[in-house]
Structure 1
């Protein structure tokens, strides 16, 4: 589902001239204004040099600015500029449109249950980290419904 949502977003955002990775940087900065590059790279699970290239491009476009970190003279804090605001508004509209299309025919109660289930699953995984059980036999078999979805 996540892959389909990303593809739909990519298709609708094609005219922006930005890559998905650049969109992800902008989205992260929108929610985490003033983060340093190391924190952004870690959050996006990309190498710092890769992030630096994305930031270079976004800076040339006038969308992002690097400011000195008051606590670490070697670090830079990333901030969005006013120039990017119309693009962020477009991104929000595209995202809402894709989500509306995905949720078509799904009523509010089903949506709330899905959100609660996904939140619970996320908490379960976060509580366990990324480690798998030492003994694969300890893992429980997925339910028949889940097996059908996974196949």
Structure 2
């Protein structure tokens, strides 16, 4: 199918697919999926959250978040510990290995994105960023 010049949605989807493909390739040596990587980011940013918080951050149901945390725990990237404020609850913490994988993944992500956008000048990148922020701010989830 030939794209029409005004098919911005299609162009954006194509650009996004290309970035995702590069991102998958960049994460392969790290040993985690993009979804698992996003969970590591959420756990790091929330500073020892409960699994429910991880679910909210990833916008998935709590059962799915439990499965992601289980996977990360099996890889030795996170551990669970009792919540000191509620003995029925469990918090999720990054291990030293989890922090290493997170840092490596963040580097790989930056390099992947940089490679994908290398054809744009700094001014064009700034314009693109401003336009995408506006699209995000004015659209609903």
- Is the TM-score greater than 0.5? yes
TM-score (norm: length of structure 1):
0.73
Deviation digits for residues 52-102 of structure 1, max 9, x if unmatched?
112112112221122323343332222211122322222122111111111
Q: Distance in 1 between matches of 2:35 and 2:56?
A: 14
User: Are 1:75 and 2:72 matched, yes or no?
Assistant: no
Q: Which runs of 5+ in 1 are unaligned?
A: 131-151
108-117 vs 64-73, which moves further: 64-73
CA separation of 1:3 and 1:68: change in aligned 2, threshold 3 A:
farther
Q: Which residue of 1 aligns with 2:112?
A: 98
Could you say what secondary structure the match of 1:74 adopts? Answer: strand
CA separation of 1:113 and 1:10: change in aligned 2, threshold 3 A:
same
Q: Distance in 2 between matches of 1:116 and 1:70?
A: 43
Relative contact order, higher structure (CA 8 A, sep 6+)? 2
CA separation of 1:35 and 1:88: change in aligned 2, threshold 3 A:
same
Q: Which residue of 1 aligns with 2:122?
A: 108
Q: Which runs of 5+ in 2 are unaligned?
A: 1-14
Q: Distance in 2 between matches of 1:103 and 1:9?
A: 13
- Deviating 4+ runs (over 6 angstroms): none
TM-score (norm: length of structure 2):
0.77
The number of aligned residues is: 127
Q: Of the candidates 41, 45, 56, which is equivalent to residue 70 of structure 2?
A: 56
CA separation of 1:3 and 1:69: change in aligned 2, threshold 3 A:
farther
